[in-house]
Amino acid sequence: MTDIRKGESPMPDSDFKYRIVTSVGGHRLTWHSMDCRTGKNAKYSRRTQDSPESRRQKAEAAGRMYHPTDHMAECCLGKSEREKAPSFTTSNARKIFAEALAAGRVAGEAAEPTPMVVGTPTTLLGNDIDYNKPTYYVADGVCGFAWVVIRPGNSSLARQAVKLDIGRTAYGGGVSIWVDEHGQSLDRKKRHAKAYADVLRGHGVDAYAQSRID
């Protein structure tokens, strides 16, 4: 990948698929087609051979977080692409969410978290455990949170999620659906969220899983 704005060896635009427009701090914002004027004129942008979907797949395969603002800009979505976005009635949405929840629960229960022992270190900043002090065995491993994001936030299923009190407006855009099952186990919640998002994508919805350690 070459950034022509940093003076590196130029490559023809035909070698790239999109431009990623970013903020001053480098946080990824939106993806634009190569011929989009907004992308061309942006002060902070770079060309990429990836698409938002391929980057999401790579992030999931590597166990990395997929940034919630990785998506195509509205100006670069063709009219036909916007028109074919799926629409859901409340009844259909309720069934889809139930299907996704069931898949998530099965995936979460099937996960095999790495157990851990929590205790007090022998020194203030130590990374060992003083077994002369109380210790706690945590069978479900590291604690954390996981959720699913549906984009865009004004899409049919995203609106239905809010209407059914299943989702809420997500930081960075879209609607988030949090995983409340599996206690505090991060591994189980992550598996749950991925399975949940997979079901939604199977219905033509732009959805992906996110997580963080507590």
Q: What is the pLDDT along the chain (214 residues), one digit of tens a residue?
A: 444 444 445 678 888 888 888 766 655 667 888 888 888 888 888 888 887 778 777 777 776 655 555 567 767 765 445 555 689 999 999 999 999 999 999 999 999 999 998 888 888 888 888 888 898 889 989 999 999 999 888 889 999 999 999 999 987 778 999 999 999 999 999 999 999 999 999 999 989 899 999 8
The answer for residues whose C-beta is within 8 angstroms of residue 202's C-beta and 6 or more apart is none
Exposure b/e, 34-48, CB count within 10 A at least 16 = b: bebeebeebeebbbb
Instruction: Indicate whether this model's pTM tops 0.85.
Output: no
Please give the single-letter amino acid code of residue 156: S
